[in-house]
Chain A
Amino acid sequence: MTLPMLSGELHVITAGTEVLGEALDAQAVPRVTVDWRPPLPGTEDDLARVLADPRRAAANDRAVGRLTSARPQLVAVRPAHEVLDLPPGTFLHAGPPITWERASGPMRGALIGATLLEGLAADEEEAAARLAAGAVRLEPCHHHRTVGPMAGVVSRSMWMFEVRDAEYGGTAYCSLNEGLGKVLRYGAYGPEVIGRLRWMGEVLGPVLRAALELTGPLDLRALIAQALQMGDELHNRNRAATSLLVRELAPAVVEAAPGRAAEVLRFAGGNDHFFLNPGMAACKVSADAARDVPGSTLVVAMARNGTDFGVQVSGLGDRWFTGPAGVPDGLYLGAYGPADANPDIGDSTITETAGLGGFAMAAAPAIVRFVGGDVSEAVAATRSMYEITLAEHPAYQIPGLGFRGTPVGVDVTLVARTGLLPTVNTGIAGRVAGTGQVGAGLVSPPASAFTAALAALAEAVPVA
């Protein structure tokens, strides 16, 4: 056995006592210093157990390998009742499971809106009463291969993007984006909201379906990679991706529905976030490919329901580990301010789960005001995420970092060791039902969700 260190020019990584590092400096031995800090309080024993799990390294390699090699393709647009196990009287929602009693304002608003859309109540009061009485069954989108931005409410008549993973065969769904302002996903349910949803079901969905039948599957992995190089981070900025998507679809839209093409393209092209939803489904199908690898500490879902922030971990099946959702720190629309903000909400953290959004902040200098107004802060946000992720994405790259792959694959053990929490970009919903969006910004997940997951991983380590 030969050890290169015995014959080469020695470089040392030092972690711990600075005196020992200084002794190396005195000998002019080059070193990289680890800025070590103690792990999150109370995680010591769980960390030791989980790190010692002989399955962990290979399991994480496999899980994150699947996450980064999935090939999401947009294959169809179809009504929810066709593709989801969604009987009448069942709604999907964002985040971990929630009840009406614990639901926040925007979640309740969106549920009321869906009740009205589905004709299950005549007005707001009746809808609220039915929901409060438990007449509607609530299930997380994530339990149905689905993700939904903000409140994420999905009901039977809504239309869904269908994304298929050409590598591993998975399928994921996300609703069609309504645009900004007073929209259902932000908890608004006024007549204009319901009217828009009906138009989306009657016109937008069918036209997009017909167009996609003409184009065939669209390669979302390639589209996202291009958008990153055009200044999107794919969570709070989707302008480039939306433009690319509309460019791909426009000829087919015109061919498929010449009479409706103008309004469809005006709607899609006029909404900078139109791509957020197929992008989320692409992230979901990639993250789902990484699920259920025994021993893996990889986070496969981060999601919020407006009350709780929840994570799911590859090695722990469908279990949720939750903590209180934080209130985002951000910029506000018009006269709105922090007092109007609802706690963090939405499945759109699936973008961060898959190495986009806040993790790709360095790719999106145009929106650095969300992270403090300075490009260097955006770069720092991305750089710090390399500390807690298992890989760098082979396709999703950041030009400003020398085409370095985005940090991808949050490892629960690295979160506990470094105390660094995922950087999440997000929209901010008004806390009062019916308000809609009030701003956008950054939010920190609760550390307790990750420490709870770590404790469960420790329990799941087989006894040697």
Chain B
Amino acid sequence: MGGRDGRAAEHDVAAVTGVTGEHDDVMAATGVTGEGGPVDVVQIRTGTYHDSVSLMRVSQVLSGLPGVKAAVVAMATELNRGIAAELGFALPGSGPADLLVALRADDEDAAGRAAAELDRLLAGLAVRTAGRAAADHPPRTVRAALRETAGVTGAGGVSRADGTYRETAGASAAGGVSGADGTREEATGTGEALTGDAAGTGSAALALVSVPGPHAFAEALDAVEAGLPVMIFSDNMPVEQEVLLKRRAEQTGSLVMGPDCGTAVVGGAGLGFANVLRPGPVGIVAASGTGAQQVACLLDLAGVGVSHILGVGGRDLSAEVGGLSTLRALDALDADPATRLIALVSKPPAPEVAEAVREAVDKLATPVVTVLLGSGEDLTSAAESVLRALGTEPPAWPSWPAIPTGETSPGETRDTGEAAPGGFPDAGEAIPGGIPDSGEAVPGGIPDAGEAASGGILDAGSRPGLPSGPASLRGIYSGGTLCAEARLVAGSGEFTDYGDDAYTRGRAHPMIDPALRLEALAAVPRGDVALLDVVLGHGADPDPAARLAPAIAAAVARGVPVVVALVGSAGDPQGLPAQAEALRAAGADVFASNALAARHAARLAGFRSVR
């Protein structure tokens, strides 16, 4: 198939690109092919915009097509152009508002199929957008959306504090026609800012902002100025904007969750990356996403539910931000009748902020369990403290040991190799013999390869099929708090948070797109131990094990022990048991507790300094 000349390929590609969505205007289309080599399709489309996650999904689907080597479908930002250029695509000129398509396939047929699939997927996105537009002129800013929400909630309008004018949703039933003569009443004094409950209907509004970080401020400010709580999922927001939003929120009675707030649960509704949790008495205030998810999931596994989870952003307790959102969230939960216990989970605050938080906590009527991570506590002990405060004895946290694969230690049985959760492994045991005293992690220090392990029995400290020399631990994380916790618990190793701003600029979060983490896992050298988190829940990858399991199996086969912290609840849409089974079947030791997973991994790596 690859034998046609470049001209033919170009012709084919041009024919394919003629079939574009009606809003897409193809500016340039080029087809390039080598002598029987791969075929590149590069297009710049104008007049179309899709969010990065939608486009990541499209790219992912195309990459998975047979015969497709690479697919970049992204807004043509400098960064995305750079990604495509690094892959060797020759790019025509474009602006950041254009859509960049760069496909590489084995041959023209595969390229044609990929291009057709691309058009089908983009048309799907466009239809969705156009359908909405035709239906109800979707608002273009949070500010404009507030009017619609006013209609939805029956609030009837948004009035500014000084009452100089009044905005009323056109479709609102509570609308503004005042007299039989059809004239509408004019601005009438002061109205309450829309808090989502202006009409006393019991309905409440919140804004969830996940636009690219540099643009999040405007949308969040719209909400805050209207007195509406806002969850800022976006990262890369300058701290001065965060401070400004939070100060303004104090004035308007709003609450700013975030920025970089990955999860929240408000009255049972999960926002962002959110686990499906049973309702219950515990209100959680946490700095960031995965820390709160870990605590809430462990509580859920222990049979205890949450009332709300309010994320405040990783910088909230810094001296610069001064805990503005933490203090407001504590107050709000204190006033909430459904919350009977408040758990405050955070990194150690700046000293001056710690004092303010302590004072605030002392004034609350609701009991507060404060857990400062790193000061001898981890997320698991936090969950356990909460359970004890409620009079519940913490259970043994579930774990799922790897199902041995024939390649690592054939014929051997594992003394703890039971499938039943809770039965494995006893990570708290002393380090078994056989680990040399020089077992400190030496980054990059790879033990002699090819040696067979002496011990035939796997326990928490042995590494079958591998030399028993010093190894390194590679933490390959998607959750920032989980990553930091694992680093603290393990005491040593190389840890990377692929959810960090540096890795998410211009690409989807690793909980959605595992590509970077798969690459990192594939790069772990034989003899080192890989430690990963897998976070379940709404918003996350619908089946993370599907792409991780083959990579884990490959790593294990290569001689890299893999440990997974599986953060999820029994109700999560991915199915916690099914994910655990798939991961352990691939050869990973799986733990519901990240701290236990990290301890286990560290022992596998032979560390002595495990906490």
Contact = CB atoms under 8 A, between A and B. Distances in A.
Interface of A: 1-21, 23-24, 26-27, 29-30, 32-39, 41, 44, 47-48, 51-52, 57-58, 61-62, 64-65, 68-69, 225, 229, 380, 383-384, 386-387, 391-392, 394-395, 397, 399, 401-405, 413-414, 417-418, 420
B168 A404 contact: yes
A11 B53 contact: no
16 contacts: A5-B267, A7-B202, A10-B269, A11-B204, A11-B205, A13-B223, A18-B51, A18-B53, A34-B145, A44-B214, A48-B217, A48-B218, A65-B164, A380-B137, A403-B184, A417-B141
Interface residues of B, number: 100
Interface in B121-175: 129, 132-133, 137-149, 152-153, 160-162, 164-168, 170-171, 175
B269 A27 contact: yes
B148 A37 contact: no
A1 B328 contact: yes
B79 interface: no
Contacts of B168: 392, 404-405
A166 to B, nearest CB: 15
Contact of A61 (B96, B160, B332, B573): B160
A8 B196 CA distance: 9
A405 B186 CA distance: 10
Question: Interface centre among B170, B240, B271, by most A CB within 10 Å?
Answer: B170
Given A13-B208, A19-B53, A48-B241, A6 B186 contact: no
Nearest to A393: B165
Given A61-B164, A414-B143, A13 B205 contact: yes
Contacts of A10: 203-206, 266-267, 269
A143 B293 CA distance: 62
A7 B338 CA distance: 8
Interface string B277-307: 0000000000000000000000000000001
Interface of B: 49, 51-54, 75, 95-97, 129, 132-133, 137-149, 152-153, 160-162, 164-168, 170-171, 175-177, 182-184, 186-187, 195-197, 201-212, 214-219, 221, 223, 225, 228-229, 233-234, 238, 240-241, 244, 253, 255, 266-267, 269-272, 274, 307-308, 328, 331-333, 335-338, 512, 538-539, 573
Contacts of A413: 218
Contacts of B53: 17-19
CB-CB nearest 4 A-B residue pairs: A65-B164, A16-B210, A8-B204, A23-B538
Contacts of A33: 132, 138, 145
Contact of A7 (B133, B139, B148, B336): B336
A35 B167 CA distance: 21
B340 to A, nearest CB: 14
Contacts of A13: 142, 145-146, 149, 205-208, 223, 228
Contacts of B218: 39, 47-48, 51, 413, 417
A386 B147 contact: yes
B144 A387 contact: yes
B233 A392 contact: no
A57 B202 CA distance: 28
A24 B139 CA distance: 18
A383 B137 contact: yes
Contacts of B49: 37-38
Contacts, number: 268
Contact of A4 (B186, B197, B225): B197
A20 B269 contact: no
A15 B209 contact: yes
Question: Interface centre among A18, A57, A401, by most B CB within 10 Å?
Answer: A18
Contacts of A24: 208, 269, 271
Contacts of A229: 182
Contacts of A402: 170-171, 175, 177
A9 B149 CA distance: 13
B324 to A, nearest CB: 12
B269 A64 contact: no
Nearest to B177: A403
Contacts of A38: 49, 75, 96-97, 212, 215
Nearest to B175: A402
Contacts of B149: 11, 13, 32
A109 B510 CA distance: 65
Contact of B208 (A15, A44, A401): A15
Contacts of B164: 61-62, 64-65, 68-69
B137 A34 contact: no
Given A16-B209, A20-B210, A35-B132, A11 B145 contact: no
A32 B538 contact: no
Contact of B266 (A5, A37, A48): A5
Given A38-B97, A384-B137, A15 B219 contact: yes
B146 A401 contact: no
A58 B139 CA distance: 23
B140 A23 contact: no
B167 A392 contact: yes
Nearest to A386: B144
A13 B210 CA distance: 11
Contacts of A5: 196, 204-206, 229, 266-267
B204 A9 contact: yes
A9 B202 CA distance: 6
Given A23-B539, A65-B160, A394-B166, 12 more contacts: A2-B335, A5-B204, A7-B337, A8-B197, A11-B203, A12-B207, A20-B271, A34-B142, A34-B219, A36-B140, A48-B241, A225-B183
Nearest to B214: A44
A427 B390 CA distance: 75
A334 B210 CA distance: 53
A69 B140 contact: no
Nearest to B204: A8
A32 B266 contact: no
A4 B333 CA distance: 11
